[in-house]
Structure 1
Amino acid sequence: MNLARFDALLHPGHHRSTVIRRVLALVLVVVAGLSMLIDAHRADPSVLIFARPVAAGAVLTEEDLTTTRLPSNVVPANAIQESELATGQILAAGASAGEVVTTTRLVGPDLIAQLVAEEPPGEDFTMVPLPLAEPDIVPMLHHGARVDVIGHGPAVIAEGGRIVTVGEEGTVLVLLRKTHAAAVAAASLVDPLTVVLSGGGYSAIPQLKSAR
């Protein structure tokens, strides 16, 4: 700004009035824009996210969770909004900080429905915990993997299971048809059991340890 213009601003007149009006108009535009952004953010739905990395199989605590606001077009339909609905639930697959908590990330009906969505009609599914006789296979397992349960012999105890969670101590949670789940639960009481990946995956059957 040159000295003439600066001097004009110091004295009443048409030029100063024009500049002042333009500055005020610009300020109002900026304030209106900021207000719109704030209102839009407040209108975004509040959703639950992971506050820190959480391992698969962990029982969620308040410290694992926090809330944030996200645009509705990026919020999954099954997103959880209240921490009370997730606290105490088991996480099916590991999560990173900032990920949205959804019902299909937690062990429950929605997760089961997702895992068996492409299965043919038949007997209902249920989950059974299985301590593996050969924990060396654990690194090869992941949430959703299709497996067969193998017993002593080796003999196939159940086919077409799905891994729900993989524990750190060689225990897996397997989703099976109810009859197969009952057979696996009964066999695990007397024989060491393990699993092999099915459906085109790893299929070698490990040597089983002697019965416990």
Structure 2
Amino acid sequence: MSAVKSVHMRPVRLRRPLAALFAATAAGSALAALRPGPPPSVRVLAAARDLPAGTALSPSDLRDLALPPAAVPSGAIRSGGNGRVLAGPMRRGEPLTDVRVIGDGLLRAYGSDTVATPIRVADADTVRLLHTGDRIDVLSVPPPDGAFAASRASPEWGKARSVASSLPVVAVPPRDEDGGKEGALVVVATDRAQATALAGAGPGLAVTITGG
């Protein structure tokens, strides 16, 4: 008789811990259902490092940044930043917006094959005379004894060679936003062949103003 009683008691003893396990599982599932999910976010492009004005953006200059919808700045760029040129400097982590880059509409006015090309002119005083819409000739001047010939009085001035002519100026970043480098930055509209020629012209660049 005791053996029969033991057989009947064993399911009872097992039923209690199983019930407790099921109750704990149900409670955990209820808590998981009530727990709020991750907050919504919007992916935008941001500067991966400090960038000076005139930077032609490359993949290494940008990173993805997730922001709450309320924190996304107006005009934030979410994709397609590569190849665009900064009209002003950016700090690391700053979201990229439409006012930070030279507008596509301005370049489109010069033709479908036009690109924005930043050049650094050694004579910063000359650059102060430039305005958007001016046209300039760009010259490459060999530096005498490692120093750039900054004026026509230099004996090296006669060795200047023309790199590109009648280029429209599309941006002149303020000097205090130019990254603290020597000379001054100008962004001009060029075709791709002119951009290649300017990139290979070296650091000794001078300009003459040909019209507006």
Tell me the TM-score normalised to structure 2 length: 0.43
Could you say which structure has the greater relative contact order, defined with CA pairs below 8 angstroms and 6 or more residues apart?
2
TM-score, normalised to structure 1, is: 0.43
Rg (Cα) greater in structure = 2
